Amino acid sequence: MSRSRPYGMSSLLVYAALLVLCDGLNDADYYNKRSKILRDESLLTLGGKTTLGDKETIVNNCLMQHKFREVDYSFDNPEYFNLSHHYFIYKDSIRKSKVYKILKDIPKGAALHVHDMALLGADYLMNLTYVPGLYVCFGVNDILLKFSNTKPNISCEGQWQTMTNARAASKNVTQLNEKLRRHFTIVVNDPDVEYPSIKETWTTFKKFFSNVHSILTYRPIWEQYFYDALKKFREDNIMYVELRSILPQLYELDGTVYSSLITAKAYRKVIKRFKKDYPDFIGAKLIYAPARNVNQTTLDAYLQLARDIKADMPDLLVGFDLVGEEDTGNPLIEFVKQLRAASTEFDYFFHAGETDWFGTTTDENLIDAILLGAKRIGHAYALIKHPILMKEVYERDIGLEVNIISNAVLSLVRDTRNHPLSVLLANNMPVVLSSDDPGAWEAEPLTDDFYVAFVGAASKLSDLKLLKQLAVNSLKYSALDRATKVEAMTKFNNKWNKFINDFDCSKY
Ligand SMILES: [Zn+2]
């Protein structure tokens, strides 16, 4: 692990003194000092002390040749720099990038921050609308969907009919399908018009979850969806996943509704099946992450459910979190007594500081996340504004789950060069990259985030060493037990070596 030097003011003070001493240097000494600063900063950055073998150096040369070409072109033509625009504008075009294609093939370790309802995108969800048993009601402003044996007994502005009949009766099936597809995505052609502020973005984002809820929670669909999601993550060269789930209640065609414990059991069943089919896959674990916008009584009920799941499936449940829009939800401080009392029972992986605000209850969530002993922090977007917390995170070695595309799409930042990830990487903070809700914005499980981070936030000079360290970090900061972590690292090293040995620059 390359934790090259303690984060803190001391190293900065040394450099301040060094710069003062530059007065009166001869030219050669001046250039030497300048080179030393550059060299030391590059060693200080995340992955900066990782060393590359001969074959890795060949891969790195290819990767960096393409990266420099892309970045240099944008430096000279900033109006064409994709990552200064909205993700929806460039998401399709980055897939043609040679850097992107290399990143797609690179073993990326684990995805540690993803929400189960948004793992797969609109194309997948559209296919589910052809599964028999689906009823639909097209209202004036909404579409309701439900799998059922009989016409659903749910109030609706229009008429319930089977999806098969709706398509057969439609005069324009293409238009019907387009309307349905829009129901399953937050991607739009004109994001700057549709999403002028975080308020509109979050309104649509929350609606996305209610839209997909009824179609995904039909039990057989849920199990297949989760299996297919793991498959897609594996194809994106991810070997392990930690899922956050609100544990939605699953249902059957006859109207039977199960408890959330059954949802957790469904996970365990699917993970077992998937690992049997793909023995190279390490698996998946669950972080129970219900909504934060609740009262203390409901939080007690959440904690009790977490206890029940842990008692029944200690191999599945690895921790607890609270989710939802942080600026408008309840801050952690409101639940501190209960969360402190339960901190010996659960590992915490709190979302905290997912905000542009400074000096508010939202960025102060970072204080509580750290004081409550969080093993990792979700987003930590506002962390760089809190120097004492930066130091605490470094010293306690708390993994920071950065989801750069999520932050851009959900209106925290536009130009990704301004994302705090650049500061975190420059200071060798314990970063892991993840993707949060890739299905909601139709991103690949992790490659899009790696690309945007690598080209749009990391230094132009950051190379394969950074990518390797990020992948290693994703396993290091995972909630796997010690023995499985060792096994995962061995499997990762094998995959990495195969990628390096098989690499052919002319393929890209
Ligand atoms: Zn999240």
Interval between CA 114 and ligand 1 midpoint (Å): 6
Q: What is the pLDDT of residue 337?
A: 97
pTM: 0.95
**Confidence grade of residue 7 (pLDDT, cut at 50, 70, 90):** low
**Confidence grade of residue 141 (pLDDT, cut at 50, 70, 90):** confident
Comparing C-alpha atoms, which of 428, 438, 501 is closest to residue 469?
A: 428
Q: What is the pLDDT of residue 339?
A: 98
Interval between CA 143 and ligand 1 midpoint (Å): 26
Interval between CA 448 and ligand 1 midpoint (Å): 16
* Three-class HEC string of 145-213: EEECCCCCCCCCCCCEEEHHHHHHHCCCHHHHHHHHHHHCCCCCCCHHHHCCCHHHHHHHHHHHHHHHH
Q: What is the pLDDT of residue 82?
A: 93
Interval between CA 268 and ligand 1 midpoint (Å): 22
The reply to whether CATH 3.20.20.140 applies to domain 87-121+200-498 is: yes
Q: What is the pLDDT of residue 6?
A: 47
Interval between CA 209 and ligand 1 midpoint (Å): 13
- CB contact set of 490 (below 8 Å; sequence gap of 6+): none
Domain residue ranges of the chain, discontinuous segments joined by +: 1-44, 87-121+200-498, 124-184
pLDDT at 5 over 60: no
Backbone dihedral region for residue 115 (phi beyond 0: left; psi -120 to 50: alpha; all else: beta): beta
Interval between CA 350 and ligand 1 midpoint (Å): 9
What percentage of the chain carries pLDDT values higher than 90? Answer: 93
- What is the chain's alpha carbon radius of gyration, rounded to the nearest angstrom? 24
Q: Residues 58-62: what's their mean pLDDT? A: 98
Q: Residues 245-273: what's their mean pLDDT? A: 97
**Per residue in 158-182, pLDDT tens?**
999 999 999 999 999 999 999 999 9
pLDDT at 409 over 50: yes
Q: Residues 428-435: what's their mean pLDDT? A: 98
**Per residue in 349-384, pLDDT tens?**
999 999 999 999 999 999 999 999 999 999 999 999
Mean pLDDT in the chain? Answer: 95
Q: What is the pLDDT of residue 24?
A: 76
pLDDT at 251 over 50: yes
pLDDT at 427 over 50: yes
**Per residue in 491-508, pLDDT tens?**
999 999 999 999 999 999
Residue 383 and residue 400 in contact, taking contact as beta carbons nearer than 8 Å: yes
Q: Residues 181-210: what's their mean pLDDT? A: 97
Q: What is the pLDDT of residue 140?
A: 83
**Confidence grade of residue 3 (pLDDT, cut at 50, 70, 90):** low
Residue 477 and residue 112 in contact, taking contact as beta carbons nearer than 8 Å: yes
Q: Residues 374-403: what's their mean pLDDT? A: 98
pLDDT at 126 over 50: yes
pLDDT at 15 over 70: no
Interval between CA 151 and ligand 1 midpoint (Å): 35
pLDDT at 14 over 60: no
Q: What is the pLDDT of residue 1?
A: 41
What percentage of the chain carries pLDDT values higher than 70? Answer: 95
Interval between CA 508 and ligand 1 midpoint (Å): 33
pLDDT at 4 over 50: no
Q: Residues 410-437: what's their mean pLDDT? A: 98
Interval between CA 441 and ligand 1 midpoint (Å): 14
pLDDT at 8 over 80: no
* Phi, psi torsion values for 26, nearest 5 degrees: -75, 170
Interval between CA 73 and ligand 1 midpoint (Å): 33
Q: Residues 380-403: what's their mean pLDDT? A: 98
Comparing C-alpha atoms, which of 395, 398, 344 is closest to residue 369?
A: 398
**Confidence grade of residue 17 (pLDDT, cut at 50, 70, 90):** low
Q: What is the pLDDT of residue 2?
A: 44
Q: How does 440-453 read in b/e, with b if 16+ C-beta sit within 10 Å?
A: bbbbbbbbbbbbbb
What's the gap between Cα 364 and its chain centre? 22
Interval between CA 96 and ligand 1 midpoint (Å): 28
Within 10 A of 355 (CB to CB), how many other CB atoms are there?
A: 22
What's the gap between Cα 5 and its chain centre? 27
Q: How does 9-38 read in b/e, with b if 16+ C-beta sit within 10 Å?
A: eeeeeeeeeeeeeeeeeeeeeeeeeeeeee
**Confidence grade of residue 19 (pLDDT, cut at 50, 70, 90):** low
Ion ligand 1 — residues with CB < 5 Å: 436
Catalytic residues: 354, 379
Interval between CA 278 and ligand 1 midpoint (Å): 27
> CB burial class (10 A; 0-12, 13-18, 19+) of residue 237?
buried
Interval between CA 78 and ligand 1 midpoint (Å): 31
Interval between CA 323 and ligand 1 midpoint (Å): 7
Backbone dihedral region for residue 371 (phi beyond 0: left; psi -120 to 50: alpha; all else: beta): alpha
